Structure 1
Amino acid sequence: MTAQPITPADLPGTVTRYLQAHLVRDTATAISAFTPDATVTDDGRTYEGRAAIERWLDRAASEYTYTTEQIAAERADAEHYIVTNHLEGDFPGGVVDLRYRFALRDGLIERLDIAP
């Protein structure tokens, strides 16, 4: 699956809603972007279902202080998008570019994989 660069404005509303909510640590809005049976994989751990994802979002919001800048957006197909964010903060290493790989189903996020 070859992804094509797109502008952030061309991302699906669900992806944009999640990213904006996560940026301002609005867990309720962020979790509303996921299907009930969604999975998130971050830092080698997988979280299944909205309750587990909500706990992950709450922990991620309080564990470190960091800034986020979106540096790229790509579309693989109508259901698969990749957003690259540049993070700087007080986490181990202090700087990282993370790729957020979104898989959508019925207009919501079914799977999110986050990795460098």
Structure 2
Amino acid sequence: MKMPLAVQAFFEANDVDIVANAFTLNAVVKDEGKRYNGRHAIRQWRVAATHKYQYISEPFEVALRGDTLVVSANVTGNFPGSPVVLGYIFHLAEESINGLEISHD
């Protein structure tokens, strides 16, 4: 599946610093009704998620709409409701992620 390198890093990297650096300095992530502003908060969000759950996200559909990339992924792990299909809406800026919204499809 063809995705920008920053989005590939989001799904494939095991290192939270690599994932955080895929975002712009002032990026915003919206997940589970919460908002994380800036790369530092995004890194903390990712660290907390990986400590709380072990999971795998497997993208199966990608659609590019201007500077927005919509990715649907099967997510399986040790969390309530697993497995689930999640929608990832990436707002891109140059080669980085400027925003991300995660929702149930």
Normalising by structure 1, we get a TM-score of 0.83
- Which runs of 5 or more structure 2 residues have no equivalent in the other structure? none
CA distance in 2: counterparts of 1:40 and 1:70, whole angstroms = 18
* Correspondence 1:1-116 to 2 at 5 A: 8-9=1-2, 11-21=3-13, 24=14, 26-77=15-66, 79-116=67-104
Which stretches in structure 1 are left out of the alignment for 5+ residues?
1-7
Between structure 1 and structure 2, the one with the greater Rg is 1
The one-letter amino acid paired with 1:55 is Q
Structure 2 CA distance, aligned partners of 1:64 and 1:72? 24
Equivalent pairs counted in the alignment come to: 104
Retained in 1: the 8 A contact 2:36–2:42?
yes
CA distance in 2, matches of 1:17, 1:67: 14
Q: Distance in 1 between matches of 2:56 and 2:33?
A: 22
Q: Please report the RMSD computed on the Cα atoms of aligned residues, expressed in angstroms.
A: 1.2
CA apart distance, 1:88: 1.6
TM-score, structure 2 length as denominator?
A: 0.91
Which letter does structure 2 place at the counterpart of 1:35? T
Runs (4+) of structure 1 exceeding 4 A deviation are none
